[in-house]
């Protein structure tokens, strides 16, 4: 097996056609999403072709990050609002053989550090090849076959609130392409983060770019819940085949007592069911997501590090950042 750089030979139509039938393919592998990362992070994308016995058996997309003298490969990397990417492999190709060649590629391309994450990567096979494996926890719901069964799996209090809204018709939920969605979504996000004296983890311009890149694909779902014709909750999801992925959700702090989050989730899940979706990844390890009938699901981050110290330094930097946030929060008397 070998991996060749074929970035310059790829176009949007060619790439999206090539990846269509790979089982590990997600919406985050699409050309439009790669462009979203490239422009929002100001990075150069790379696409490697995986060859076995003169046959193309897969692809590996990713991005080069330069930090001083360090060369880092991300597929994806934390902070990109991109949970998955990683390799796409034919069914008859073992992940173990890929990991072996992945290590060689990283050395050959003079990368000092690399991360790959995707659904159903084989952590044990990666460990056997000497790669570092860390767990990533998310909440995942397998959609029930009917609307009533979807709601039946909600937590009791959430289910009661949704039934009440549906009966009294106090909130109207809609899929929208209204340009004002961005303003409502981001304003609500700012208010949510302001409660902790923080700013949103991504900019308004990033969401604008997301909508610009992904709306034409038909994979982006923008939904809002309205009370007396005013949007009081907004949600961004991505649908691709049997999977739906949550990007973000926001709500107006002045209307939280109306419980709009439950009914907007219920609406989105029903829409996804109609589109043939089977799994809804809520994106993140926050326990409150279990109220919508989801359960913890483990995926793996596979890490290559030329020097062990790089991996430790990265973890140390993360801990320092979290520590500073906690101290800042406490000093402000919160």
Pick the range with the lowest mean pLDDT from 31-35, 157-161, 194-198: 194-198
What is the third-level CATH fold of 2-135+299-331? Aminopeptidase (3.40.630)
Cβ(84)–Cβ(117) under 8 Å?
A: yes
CA distance 244 to 85: 15
Topology match between the domains 2-135+299-331 and 144-277: yes
Tell me the mean pLDDT in the region 302-322. Answer: 62
Instruction: Based on DSSP, count helices (H) and strands (E) in the chain, helices before strands.
Output: 10, 13
CA distances from 109 to 10, 70, 127, 143, 306 (A): 20, 12, 22, 42, 12
3-state helix, strand, coil in the chain (%, to 5): 45, 30, 30
Give 273-286 pLDDT, tens digit per residue: 999 999 999 998 89
Supply the CATH classification number for the domain 144-277.
3.40.630.30
Copy the structure tokens of residue 172. Answer: 């109207």
Domain ranges, ordered by start, for the chain: 2-135+299-331, 144-277
Chain segment 67-107, per-residue pLDDT in tens: 889 999 999 999 999 999 999 999 999 999 999 999 999 99
Q: Residue 156 burial (CB < 10 Å; 0-12/13-18/19+)?
A: exposed
Give residue 315's pLDDT band: very low, low, confident or very high (50, 70, 90): low
């Amino acid at each position: 097996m070998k991996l060749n750089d074929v970035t310059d030979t790829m176009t949007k139509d060619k790439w999206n056609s090539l990846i269509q039938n790979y089982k590990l393919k997600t919406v985050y592998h699409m050309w439009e999403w790669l462009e979203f990362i490239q422009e929002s992070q100001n990075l150069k994308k790379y696409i490697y072709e995986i060859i076995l016995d003169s046959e193309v058996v897969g692809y590996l997309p990713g991005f080069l990050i330069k930090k001083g003298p360090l060369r880092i490969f991300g597929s994806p990397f934390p902070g990109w609002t991109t949970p998955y990417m990683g390799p796409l492999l034919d069914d008859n190709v073992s992940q173990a053989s890929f990991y072996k060649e992945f290590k060689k590629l990283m050395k050959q391309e003079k990368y000092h550090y690399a991360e790959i994450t995707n659904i159903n990567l084989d952590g044990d096979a990666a460990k056997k090849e000497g790669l570092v494996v860390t767990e990533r926890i998310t909440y995942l719901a397998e959609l029930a076959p009917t609307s009533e069964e979807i709601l039946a799996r909600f937590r009791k209090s959430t289910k009661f609130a949704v039934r009440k809204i549906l009966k009294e018709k106090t909130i109207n939920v809609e899929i929208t392409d209204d340009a004002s969605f961005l303003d409502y979504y981001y304003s609500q996000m700012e208010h949510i983060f302001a409660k902790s004296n923080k700013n949103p983890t991504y900019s308004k311009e990033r969401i604008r770019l997301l909508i610009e890149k992904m709306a034409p694909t038909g994979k982006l779902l923008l939904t809002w819940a309205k009370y007396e014709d005013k949007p009081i909750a907004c949600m961004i999801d991505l649908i691709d085949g049997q999977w739906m992925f949550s990007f973000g959700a926001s709500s107006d702090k002045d209307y939280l007592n109306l419980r709009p989050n439950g009914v907007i989730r219920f609406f989105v899940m029903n829409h996804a069911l109609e589109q043939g979706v089977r799994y809804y990844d809520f994106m993140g390890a926050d326990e409150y997501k279990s109220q919508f009938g989801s359960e913890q699901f483990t995926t793996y981050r596979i890490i290559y590090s030329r020097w062990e110290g790089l991996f430790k330094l990265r973890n140390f930097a993360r801990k320092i950042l979290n520590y500073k946030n906690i101290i800042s929060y406490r000093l402000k008397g919160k």
